[in-house]
Structure 1
Amino acid sequence: MSAGDWKNLYQAAVDGNLDLVQHHIIEEVNPNYQHPEIMRTPLVASLIEGHVEVARFLLAHGADPSLVSELDNLSPLQAAKKHGHHAFADHLRQIGAKEQNEPFWWRWLPV
């Protein structure tokens, strides 16, 4: 997968444009990339914006169900719960998604 036209994929996820999301995923744009200017995953962004159909598609096509969106410090499970998508949160739990408990910057502290 490539970052490709990731910003266009991201905007399509924010807008709920499933056709365009599908196009970019078919073109192998990486749904787990987080652009340094945006620092949010398309999966978390789609959940925040209320586009569960887009989130389902992303999840079915390679989006990491536990990848924390750095801007929000939210996992997909946390975003789904926070924004009232309880059935989707249940689905995420069923496939093993985890909530994260530490800030994203914690990963970069020296051991």
Structure 2
Amino acid sequence: MSGGDWKELFNAACGGDLALVQYHVKNGVDVNYAHPEFLSTPLVACILAGQEAVAHHLLDHGANPRLHSEFDGMTPVEAARHVGMASVLGRLARLGIEPPPPEAPRRRGLGQWLARWLSVPG
């Protein structure tokens, strides 16, 4: 796998280009990889971008439904709940993955750290 292939997969997933995602998945790009420049998983990123069909395709082809996306600071189920993607939430529930209760504190990841750092007047 080359980094460029993964980056193209990631961008296609976020942009909803299912045909390009299918091409890269078919050619062996790792759907669970989080590139060091991105620190985000394709599954969480596409869910947050509202790309429902891509999310289901990634799940169909080995995306880990429990894998935490460091940059986004959430798992696929947390991302699906955040954007209200009912079909993905239902699918994850059928896999035995339930979101934490709403009152549970969210994990603090790089996403919150980066947002705080960028908001500091400099």
Query: TM (normalized to structure 2)?
Result: 0.78
How far the C-alpha of 1:98 sits from its partner, in A, is 5.0
Q: Is residue 65–residue 77 contact of structure 1 (8 Å, CA) maintained in 2?
A: yes
Cα RMSD between the aligned structures?
Answer: 1.8
Q: Which amino acid aligns with 1:58?
A: L
Distance 2:9 2:98 in 1: 24
Q: Is residue 74–residue 107 contact of structure 2 (8 Å, CA) maintained in 1?
A: no
Distance 2:71 2:98 in 1: 18
User: Which runs of no fewer than 5 residues in structure 1 stay unpaired?
Assistant: 106-111
Equivalent residue for 2:81?
81
Distance 1:62 1:3 in 2: 19
Q: State the 4+ residue runs in structure 1 displaced beyond 3 angstroms.
A: 98-105
Q: Is residue 16–residue 46 contact of structure 2 (8 Å, CA) maintained in 1?
A: yes
Equivalent residue for 1:109?
none
How far the C-alpha of 1:97 sits from its partner, in A, is 2.6
Q: Is residue 65–residue 77 contact of structure 2 (8 Å, CA) maintained in 1?
A: yes
Secondary structure at the residue paired with 2:70? coil
Distance 2:63 2:2 in 1: 13
Equivalent residue for 2:56?
56
Q: Bigger shift: 91-100 or 52-61?
A: 91-100
Distance 2:73 2:10 in 1: 17
Secondary structure at the residue paired with 1:96? coil
Q: Bigger shift: 49-58 or 85-94?
A: 85-94
User: How many residue pairs end up in the alignment?
Assistant: 104
Distance 1:53 1:25 in 2: 14
CA gap of 1:85–1:27, structure 2 versus 1, over 3 A, is same
Give the percent of matched residue pairs that are identical in Structure 1 and Structure 2: 41
How far the C-alpha of 1:87 sits from its partner, in A, is 2.5
